[in-house]
Amino acid sequence: MTPLPADLRLLERAIALAGEARARGRHPFGALVADARGDVLAEAVNDSLPPGGDPTRHAELLAAAAAARAAPEGGLGGATLFTSAEPCAMCAGAIYWTGIGRVVYALSESRLLALTGNHPENPTLALPCREVFARGQRVVEVLGPLLEDAAEAPHVGFWT
């Protein structure tokens, strides 16, 4: 499946949010949810702050939850979550449960793992989001990885 120009523009915004997260001293992840017209419903940066912070405050989960609260009458079936990195299993579950119908991500989980290594603040699950969504009763379309070099930039030197 080929990304649309709007997909790439919104994915670039998610990557920029990852840079903003890093500038704030947070883990460099960003996400946003846009409706079918491309209007942004919610955006978020990672706010989990391990090791002492709340590890559930990933950017994707925060954006999905905010979009669910702001959702139009018809829900989020036509919405897309754009994220700087492939959603982890926890975030994929949140995306599924909020009813978001599509995910576009930049950095793959495997490439992220190559950057973070065995860093204690980013224990990685080798479980692609496609596999999580495949276990559900409704389809969540997934497009990615895309723009991996750009998405890698906020991580360079962060995990060392």
- The residues assigned a catalytic role are 60
Report yes or no: 153 and 23 within 8 Å, Cβ to Cβ: no
Residue 102 φ/ψ, nearest 5 degrees: -155, 145
Q: Determine the residue type at 119.
A: H
Cα Rg, the chain, nearest whole Å? 14
- Per DSSP, the three-state class of 99 is coil
Which two tokens mark 59?
């950017």
Could you give the CA distance from residue 46 to residue 63 in angstroms, rounded to a whole number?
10
